[in-house]
């Protein structure tokens, strides 16, 4: 397997949401070559029991140099770039797709409290804004499966001899037709903020490009 793999993950619809743009973009970018690196896009199960072993297997098999997770943040208006993965599973009122509703459980028993993500975060936000795509840094990804993905990946790469790939997570807005359909379904006065699939795809390509540049800079050092 090539040592120039970018692993991009997304999730399927969950809860009351009928779409999840993160799974769509993972599928759309799967197989794409960007700056000489091959993107492997995978939709992970939105199930706290099924997701970790699949993610671990992908990382062990592919040995990616960059791991980028993505997920839906319904109600968000822009790219939300996450700084930290917490050792926390706290699903609030939204069960995962396996029907599990965790309340304050650790993602990894006796694991560190948190890990910092390792993408070039400031460069990513700056470049997205330069290209006209709203973006900002977020302290952490909450306590659901998006946070679980970050923590699982970061915990694994600290344990494995795989060259410490860059790891990060991007929360995405809803799609316009999704926001409209859900407002219609729920009889809401306002639709949730949204972003077109084309713009989301462009933004994730930028995230990948900047991650590769950050990786190349580290390799030069």
Give me the active site residues, please. 82, 146, 171
Angle, alpha carbons 30-211-87 (nearest 5°): 90
66 Cβ contact partners less than 8 Å away, ≥ 6 residues apart? 6, 7, 37, 119, 165, 166, 167, 208, 211, 212, 215
Give the DSSP per-residue string, 125-142: HHHHHHTT--EEEEEE--
Say which residues have a Cβ less than 8 Å from residue 71's Cβ, sequence separation at least 6. 10, 11, 20, 22, 141, 145, 146, 149, 169, 170, 171, 172
68 near 170, Cβ under 8 Å?
Answer: yes
């Amino acid at each position: 397997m090539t040592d120039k793999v970018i692993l991009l993950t997304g999730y399927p619809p969950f809860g009351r949401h009928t779409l999840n743009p993160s799974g769509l973009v993972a599928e759309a970018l799967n197989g794409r070559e960007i700056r000489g690196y091959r993107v492997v896009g995978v939709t992970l199960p939105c199930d706290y029991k099924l997701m970790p072993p699949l993610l671990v297997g992908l990382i062990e098999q592919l040995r990616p140099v960059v791991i980028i997770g993505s997920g839906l943040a319904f109600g968000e208006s822009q790219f939300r770039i996450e700084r930290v993965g917490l050792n926390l599973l706290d699903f609030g009122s939204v069960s995962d797709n396996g029907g599990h509703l965790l309340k304050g459980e650790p993602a990894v028993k006796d694991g560190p409290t948190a890990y910092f993500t390792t993408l070039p975060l400031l460069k990513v936000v700056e470049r997205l804004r330069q290209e006209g795509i709203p973006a900002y840094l977020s302290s952490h990804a909450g306590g659901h499966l998006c946070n679980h993905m970050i923590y699982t990946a970061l915990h694994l790469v600290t344990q494995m001899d795989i060259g410490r790939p860059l790891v990060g997570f991007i929360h995405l807005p809803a799609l316009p037709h999704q926001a409209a359909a859900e407002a219609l379904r729920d009889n809401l006065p306002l639709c949730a903020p949204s972003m077109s699939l084309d713009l989301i795809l462009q933004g994730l390509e930028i995230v990948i490009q900047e991650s590769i540049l950050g990786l190349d800079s580290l390799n030069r050092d």
